[in-house]
Chain A
Amino acid sequence: MEAIILQILNGLDKGSAYALIALGLTLIFGTLGVVNFAHGALFMIGAFCAVTLSRILTLSHTVVDDTQTDFLGNPLKVDVPYVMDWFGETTGAAIIDWAVPLSILFAIPVMIAIGVIMERGLIKHFYKRPHADQILVTFGLAIVLQEIIKYYYGANPIPTPAPAAFKGSFDFGAMLGFDPNIIIYPYWRIIYFAFAAVIIGAVFAFLQFTTFGMVVRAGMADRETVQLLGINIDRRFTLMFGIAAAVAGLAGVMYTPINSPNYHMGMDFLVLSFVVVVVGGMGSLPGAVAAGFLLGILESFASMREVLAVLPGLNQIIIYLVAIIILLTRPRGLMGRKGVMEE
Chain B
Amino acid sequence: MSTTITKAGNRPLSAYLYKRAKLRLFSLLALPMFWIVGVYILSLFLLLVTAFWFVDPFTSKVIVGFTLDNFVSIFTVPAYISTSIRTLLIALAVTGLSVLFAVPLGIYMAKIAKPWVRNALAVAITLPLWAGYLVKIIAMRLVFTEEGFFNWALAPFGLSGPTFSIPIVILTLTYLWFPYMALPVFTAIRQIPPNLFDASSDMGAKGFTTIYRVVMPLIVPAIIAGSVFTFSLSLGDYLAAKFTGGSTQMIGSIIAANINLNPPVAAAFSMVPIAFVVIYLMVARRTGSLERM
Do A and B come together as binding partners?
A: no
